[in-house]
A and B are shown apart, each in its own frame.
Chain A
Amino acid sequence: MNQWFDLFASPPVIVADTQLWRSLSLSDYNTRVVLAGTTLLGIASGLLGVYLLLRKRALLGDAISHATLPGVALAYLWTALIGQDKSLTVLLVGAAISGTLGGVSVLMLRHFARVREDAALGIVLSVFFGAGVALVSVLQQFPRGKISGLESFIYGKVVAITGSDVALAAVVLFFVIAIIALLGKELKILCFDFELARSQGWPVMALDFLLIAMVVAVTIVGLKAIGLIMVIALLIIPAASARFWTHDLTRMLFVSGVLGGVSCAVGALASAAFANYPSGATIVLCACFFFVLSFVFGTQRGVLWNFLHQRQLSRQQEYQHLLRICYEGLEARGSLPSLSKLSTSEAVPISEVAERRAWSRSFALKVARELDARGLVVLRRSGDLQLTARGMVQAEEAVREHRLLEMYMMEQAAADVGQADREADYLEHGLLPEHLAELGENRSVGAPPPVPPSPHPFKSE
């Protein structure tokens, strides 16, 4: 126990001096401040991003963050002109005012001028950012000392984060969580069904404004850490990633908050450890990494999971086909075992299977080997297939389903024999127990349900 404690108190000499170790071991006060500030920011934007995404307003965050630039620039200008030292408060107030103006402009353009949402976002984003860029070029005529740090607002610089930034981030996170906890139901109805929300008398404009106010607050906190251009990534990417993992809103909030926090923490550490990488870039790349991870491995919508699921389905269909052919092969030879004695020593050659399914011999062998491994058939060295007792039970079930469907198609859907066989082939894999019960209703009396005879002679396909 003591040994471990000592190890952390005095890390190995070789790595102790490197900046990387100091960052990763959190031994440095600054690193801890940076880590705390960015993590709080990441959680807050992850949570808020879920509602922005569901309200289809993801790009509103982008317009708002860009709209903070003229505010920041004017604040610099003001402090420079009155000869004061620049203070963080003035800068943040300036950013908050112009950010809010930008967000409200989007709502107003949409509501009163009936400009389409995407156009309104484009107008506000470009006009505010353009004004900001113009003001920044005015600022560049001032001595460098007066405008130091301006760049970090645009691209983000975590090392500039101070204790008061952490406090601000904590306050914002507290409010975001409190508002979601108190107004979860109101925000949910606003995001899902705007018309219902209005018809029930909810003040939808005020709720939309609340969302904007929260976005402004998160953006302000994010300005220093990741800069105004990339803060949008934190509002969109964690929420979009979370959607791959769950269909539940509460869980989505949780996953998005965690992903946001972790992306920020790892990204900020990377930025601090390898100096000169702008933190905005490392954090966004980190968030993007988790997005790709979610996109591939997400349990609800990830492509890998979908792919495996599809493959498993088609595998099962192949197994059913092979078992059915074995059964029907025995049936054609008149060598089906009686009910009391399920196993049989008769075998069906693999060539017959391949021929009837129009499979290649090697593919038929592959499927047969997999079924052999599952103990449903025995694949003899000669290439003959023998059903085991368990295989016989499953084969009988597959044949029964197929024939019930075939007969249903022929009787009800007026399909001809070939068509019925093909369609049954296709449909039988989607059968649910209740469908089967309905199909067999008029035919099977008592258990076990008999396998009806095939309505057509077997032929190769």
Chain B
Amino acid sequence: MQSSLPLTSIPLSVRDLTVAYHRKPVLWNVTLDIPDGSLVGLVGPNGAGKSTLLKAVIGMVPKISGAIKIFGGTYAERRGSVAYVPQRESVDWDFPATALDVVLMGTYGRLGWFRRAGKVERDAAREALAKMEIEHLAGRQISQLSGGQQQRTFLARALVQEAKLFLMDEPFAAVDAATERAIVMLLKDLQAKGCTIVVVHHDLHTVPEYFDHLVLLNTRLVGAGPTSTVFTDSNLQKTYGGKLTLLEEIGEAMKRRDQRSKL
């Protein structure tokens, strides 16, 4: 499933992206470029469309309009260069599998149909677990892992995908302080290796410390660029403040109008 097309320099380029759930817009005309090798925080209030943006990138939610390019190609062409880390709560951790089994799933994409994970994949998975400092838990049933350990398992799984662009949906949600530090170290480490990482994030206090680039989102794009220029009081006011509720009201009104016209 790996693509042999040459990679252009922009890891992620979004043009005029609009996404709606049940006719209610979740993302409106979002246009942004993520520069190569950046560590990007994707920040905004609840329901701002942060997760939806990531899901639109990997084609999981249909877009109404707009274009998304990954290293100059479509997602289907660049799949092998992208690792997506879903929210931890999106899966049932009671599944009969060990931490190693879960990490091995990261290799399934490049294994392709019918081939099973062999020694090479197992070694890669153990190495990834070791990087997340949970190698000793490789054989542990996943339901017996703590929340932080489960998140580390998910990140180890992303590591074995050998991607160039990482899309992480709230990796810091409900993890302990030690895990948070480990994740930050991993992110910086990946960035040092030339990877580009986009992280959905909630904690404004840690934004300047963790991310060198920032995307502020509240249905529409409020700002995107280096953290030092984007992370300003006025931008945050625009993202979290009251002014954007007007947009939401228009959205609701459109939804009602659409419903009436359908009747």
Contacts and interface: CB of A to CB of B under 8 A. Distances in A.
Interface of A: 54, 56, 114, 182-186, 188-189, 191-193, 195-196, 198-202, 243, 246-249, 252
B241 interface: no
Contacts of A246: 96
B86 A196 contact: yes
Contacts of B134: none
Given A191-B95, A200-B79, 11 more contacts: A185-B111, A185-B116, A195-B90, A196-B84, A199-B60, A199-B82, A201-B1, A201-B76, A243-B96, A246-B96, A252-B96
Nearest to B90: A195
B109 A193 contact: no
Contacts of A186: 108, 113
Contacts of B182: none
Contact of A199 (B84, B101, B102, B117): B84
A140 B108 CA distance: 54
B86 A192 contact: no
A247 B141 contact: yes
Nearest to A192: B95
Nearest to B59: A198
A305 to B, nearest CB: 15
Contacts of A183: 114
Contacts of A247: 96, 98, 141, 143
Contacts of A193: 86, 90-91, 105
B102 A192 contact: yes
Given A185-B116, A186-B113, A201-B79, A56 B96 contact: no
A284 to B, nearest CB: 24
Q: Closest 3 A-B residue pairs measured CB to CB? A: A200-B109, A199-B84, A247-B141
B92 interface: yes
A192 B90 CA distance: 10
A243 B113 CA distance: 28
The secondary-structure label for the interface of chain A is helix
Contacts of B96: 54, 243, 246-249, 252
Contact of A185 (B58, B92, B98, B117): B117
Contacts of B253: none
A189 B86 contact: no
Nearest to B102: A192
A114 B141 CA distance: 34
A192 B1 CA distance: 21
9 contacts: A114-B22, A184-B116, A185-B116, A188-B101, A193-B91, A195-B90, A200-B79, A248-B96, A249-B96
Contacts of B58: 198-199
Contact of B97 (A195, A198, A201, A249): A249
B215 to A, nearest CB: 20
From B22, B90, B97, name the one whose CB has the most chain A CB atoms within 10 angstroms.
B97
A249 B105 CA distance: 14
Contacts of A184: 116
Interface string B144-184: 00000000000001000000000000000000000000000
A193 B83 CA distance: 14
Contacts of B157: 196
Contacts of B98: 247-248
Nearest to B106: A196
Contacts of A243: 96
A54 B22 contact: no
From A54, A56, A195, A202, name the one whose CB has the most chain B CB atoms within 10 angstroms.
A195
Contacts of B55: 195
Nearest to A199: B84
A182 B91 CA distance: 24
B117 A195 contact: no
B1 A185 contact: no
Contacts of A188: 97, 101, 105
Contacts of A196: 84, 86, 105, 157
B108 A185 contact: yes
A201 B116 CA distance: 17
Nearest to A249: B96
A189 B90 contact: no
A202 B101 CA distance: 18
A186 B115 CA distance: 10
From A56, A193, A202, A246, name the one whose CB has the most chain B CB atoms within 10 angstroms.
A193
From A114, A185, A200, name the one whose CB has the most chain B CB atoms within 10 angstroms.
A200
Contacts of A192: 91-92, 95, 97, 102, 105
A280 B116 CA distance: 38
Contact of A195 (B60, B101, B102): B60
B168 to A, nearest CB: 12
